[in-house]
Amino acid sequence: MKTVLITGCSSGFGLEIARYFLARDWQVVATMRTPQADVLPPSSRLRVLALDVTNPESIRQAVEAAAPIDVLVNNAGFGAASPVEFVPISTVRGLFETNTIGTIAMTQAVLPQFRQRRAGVIVNVTSSLTLKPMPLNAAYRASKAAVHAFTESLALELEPFRVRVRLVLPGSSPETRFRESARMDGLDHEAYADLVKKTFAPLRAASAAITHLQDVAEAVWRAATDPSSPMCIPAGADAEAWAAEAA
């Protein structure tokens, strides 16, 4: 029976990914900053562990407690929307510490066991925003684009060890708490009022294509279990449309 470790499982994509793998008889190590075992169905194949991807000791303890694993899903992260003029540098640092460096640190922590076994899969969940530029998301997009570049290079490094690396690119999902938890600064400034309206109105339209939680879970499952899957897997109707435009 295979084991997957998933970061950021308290809600949203991470929680749905954990449910999806549990339903398919995998051992699941669901991690979150503050463990909440009741958010997932009870199972003898489930472990819920505390993990802060910005804390090296927390990473060490979680990976040690979970080992050995077959798949790592780097999903933990948060968002921010702001004109560059007004985004606090503390927010920029936080985005990179969690979204980018957290992903790299988790990857480093599991690589020795994957390399030694000459087996394993790493799935990095980024964003369809990396496919084309969008205003008012520059810092967030940069943190995810860095993971995209990191993942592409990492895949080449790990090929000799038979370790697969994949990217899953979700679109915008109203089914998550992403918008509620995102840090927003300066969006109410009059100088950017027209741009804010022009940028976000199409995303909130009733007819807008969206990403469902299951879209992302299915994409991660494909990345983890299908050796023939592509390096980049868009997840959701909107992400797939953007990917087609970028092709």
Sign of the alpha-carbon torsion through 192, 195, 200, 205: positive
CB neighbourhood size of 113 (10 A): 15
Q: What count of Cα atoms within 13 Å lies in the side-chain half-sphere of residue 199?
A: 16
Q: Are 127 and 141 in contact (CB under 8 A)?
A: yes
Among 44, 45, 51, residue whose Cα is nearest residue 9: 51
Report helix angle 12-22 to 213-225, nearest 10.
50
Q: Give catalytic status of residue 20 as yes or no.
A: no
Contacts of 11 (CB under 8 A, 6+ apart): 39, 176, 177
Rounded to whole angstroms, how far apart are CA atoms 166 and 148?
10
**β partners of residue 27:** 3
Single-letter residue type at 108? Q
Catalytic residue among 140, 150, 178, 221: 140
Q: Are 202 and 165 in contact (CB under 8 A)?
A: no
Q: Are 173 and 72 in contact (CB under 8 A)?
A: no
**β partners of residue 233:** 168
Residues serving a catalytic function are 140
